[in-house]
């Protein structure tokens, strides 16, 4: 039986819709009264785990799930040992540098040497500023990152931006985009190579759905 790791949050509805299109129904996760974190499809051919977004590649890498769906931003941050298979096209957002609108900085290179940048994407932020040869202190924050510049704890943040509304409502503006992100289908490398439980058939069905939707 194939096991799929699905992310809680914004991507879940689109993930469930995608699997429904290939005959697998995990919609019980959308029922607010349901507290199960693992469910089996009615066909009894696959089951799904509902996990935090950043944990999806962990479950896939360690083989507890053969397939998973996760944002490209998470893959860049965690760099897990998984097979990257399909760009699913939904969940579009971008990882950006943002500052207070009232600040004098309008590009990343204008930030002060050894200034502070708050982010939950510590690896991506460090990699980006290292490439600019700009020494900064990366401050790990995992809650409301926007408060970094607002409170004066940091000069800037590196965070995901979708519509930009949250930044705008908190008096922040984007000054750089590190990369664009969409949802990706990933697989456990060995399971993928060995085609465990007919895994490759499901993958090809998903590819077809994505191509049809384009």
Is the pLDDT confidence value at 108 over 90?
Answer: yes
Check residue 148 and report its DSSP letter.
H
70: helix, coil or strand?
Answer: strand
d(CA 69, CA 4): 8
> What is the structure's pLDDT at 214?
65
**What pTM value is reported for the model?**
0.93
Tell me the Ramachandran region of residue 122: left when phi exceeds 0, alpha when psi lies from -120 to 50, beta otherwise. Answer: alpha
Closest among 76, 32, 92, 71 to 184, alpha carbons compared? 71
- 114, 124, 103: which is closest to 175 by C-alpha? 103
pLDDT at 10 over 70: yes
Tens of pLDDT, residue by residue over 17-37, are: 999 999 999 999 999 888 999
pLDDT in tens, 149-201: 999 999 999 999 999 999 999 999 999 999 999 999 999 999 999 999 999 99
CB 176 within 8 A of CB 48: no
Kindly list the structural domains of the chain, giving each domain's residue range(s) and its CATH number in brackets, ordered by start: 2-91+182-213 (3.40.190.10), 93-180 (3.40.190.10)
As beta bridge partners, residue 187 has: 67, 83
CB 66 within 8 A of CB 187: yes
């Amino acid at each position: 039986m194939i096991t799929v790791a699905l992310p809680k949050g914004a991507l879940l509805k689109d993930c469930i819709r995608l699997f429904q299109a290939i005959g697998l129904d995990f919609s019980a996760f959308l029922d607010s009264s349901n507290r199960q974190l693992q469910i089996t499809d009615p066909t009894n051919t696959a089951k799904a785990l509902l996990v935090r977004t950043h944990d999806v590649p962990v479950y896939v890498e360690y083989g507890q799930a053969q397939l998973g769906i996760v944002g490209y931003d998470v893959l860049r941050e965690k760099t897990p040992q998984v097979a990257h298979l399909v760009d699913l096209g939904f969940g579009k957002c971008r990882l950006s540098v943002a500052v207070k609108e009232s600040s004098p900085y309008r590009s990343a290179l204008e930030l002060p040497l050894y200034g502070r940048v708050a982010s939950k994407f510590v690896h991506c932020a460090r990699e980006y500023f290292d490439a600019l040869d700009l020494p900064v202190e990366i401050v790990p924050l995992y809650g409301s990152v926007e408060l970094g510049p607002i409170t004066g704890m940091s000069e800037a943040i590196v965070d995901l931006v979708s519509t930009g509304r949250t930044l705008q409502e908190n008096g922040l503006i984007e000054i750089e985009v590190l990369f664009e992100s969409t949802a990706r289908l990933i697989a456990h490398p060995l399971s993928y190579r060995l085609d465990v439980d007919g895994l490759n058939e499901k993958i090809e069905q998903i590819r077809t759905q994505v191509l049809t939707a384009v």
